Amino acid sequence: MDNKNNPWKKDFPILDQKVNDEDLIYLDNAATTQKPQTVINDITDFYTHDNANVHRGVHTLAERSTEQFEQAREKIQHFINAEHSDEIIYTKGTTDSLNIIARSYGEENIEEGDEIVISYLEHHSNLVPWQQLAIKKHATLKYIELDNDGFVDLDDAKKKITDKTKIVSIAHVSNVLGVINPVKEIAKLAHQHGAVMVVDGAQSVPHMPVDVQNLDCDFLAFSGHKMLGPTGIGVLYGKEELLNQMSPVDFGGEMINFVHLYETDWNDLPWKFEAGTPNVGGAIVLGNAVDYLNEIGMDKIFDYEKKLVDYVLPKLLDIDGLTVYGPHDPKKHTSVISFNLDNLHPHDLATGLDMEGVAVRAGHHCAQPLMKYLGVSATARASFYFYNTFDDADTLVKAIIATKEFFKNGTI
């Protein structure tokens, strides 16, 4: 199998370069994705031709930028199948979105003795806001156990989610273990007990079809830079009924209807939560990134990445001394693969791979409680996207073996 089987890699100019005299193999897509030339061009085009603040002017540039800004909102609405475009709130990213939920819905609905339920595999962005909310409100933070493959355990979820539970917040896809969690089933459990369901979609929305109405989640958070868009732009989806009940957390321009001397009327959705000058270019370009993804098709992207995992995971498992975390069955594993090599620190392994031109992540991946749960301090992580090739997968395997031999021979 070779690069000819992948028609998309050529669209990404950053991948056409050498690192340490080797062809770049970029496998850090769970951290951020690269941008196709069309998206790069769109950034330049906006600032060259249309740059203006939105909603605040009647001149031509303001009207053009506003139209594109709101068109992008509608693109994102349809991308995740939200019922209304005003359920799409522009934010800085997943972290910002989750914090808004905690600071608004959480502050207004959590009381002493209430429960907030998350799992051991959560990214810090989906842990610390709930931890701090629980501390502030004297609520109880509970963790759902993981099963042997690393999935959130549904049986334990049934025990942990009770009538005292007010918020359940779970990652759709783990950024470490590469599992797709049963968030639809967990949402049903949460609703049976009167709780709301929050989904961290940072690692799912870019890689697979996500339908918020089918999942019946109350909130969904995701980031633009993990799905070909710019950094600094993200999305908070919330059911209209809940968002209307919530108070804004940032105050200033745009989010007001009328300011009196001693009180203020809030603007309608979605602008109530979008204080100040937004990332206009970022939002518009994220909408164009959605166009690019739609042109390929999210089902096609998901299927292609599954083929990559089917191909590379058995090869990784065959490397003597390599421990792979999460499911060993490729059918249960997404394109995020974390591993350690015996007697070698993950940072040393990642440095060795970089010398071979292979970019992977090493560390705790903003998931320190999960690292403790796994009994390790850190892991290396290779994360694939649809522009990666089977040759890339082969190069990863060869580079791990070469790095292993280098450190082995160096100690003799």
Q: Which residues have a catalytic role annotated?
A: 366
Cα(13)–Cα(80) distance, rounded to whole angstroms?
28
- Residues in Cβ contact with 212 at an 8 Å cutoff, skipping those fewer than 6 apart: 80, 81, 82, 220, 237
Q: Are strands 196-200 and 165-171 parallel, antiparallel or unpaired?
A: parallel
Q: What is the residue whose two structure tokens read 């998901």?
A: 302
Cα(155)–Cα(148) distance, rounded to whole angstroms?
13
- Residues in Cβ contact with 243 at an 8 Å cutoff, skipping those fewer than 6 apart: 86, 87, 89, 269, 270, 272, 273
Cα(317)–Cα(310) distance, rounded to whole angstroms?
12
Cα(99)–Cα(126) distance, rounded to whole angstroms?
8
C-beta atoms surrounding 60 within 10 Å: 10
User: How far, in Å, are 83, 153, 169, 188, 286 from residue 196 at the CA level?
Assistant: 18, 19, 8, 10, 28
Cα(119)–Cα(151) distance, rounded to whole angstroms?
10
User: Among 249, 272, 269, which residue's Cα sits nearest to residue 103?
Assistant: 249
Using DSSP, state whether 306 is helix, strand or coil. Answer: helix
Q: Are strands 322-325 and 336-341 parallel, antiparallel or unpaired?
A: antiparallel
Cα(94)–Cα(202) distance, rounded to whole angstroms?
6
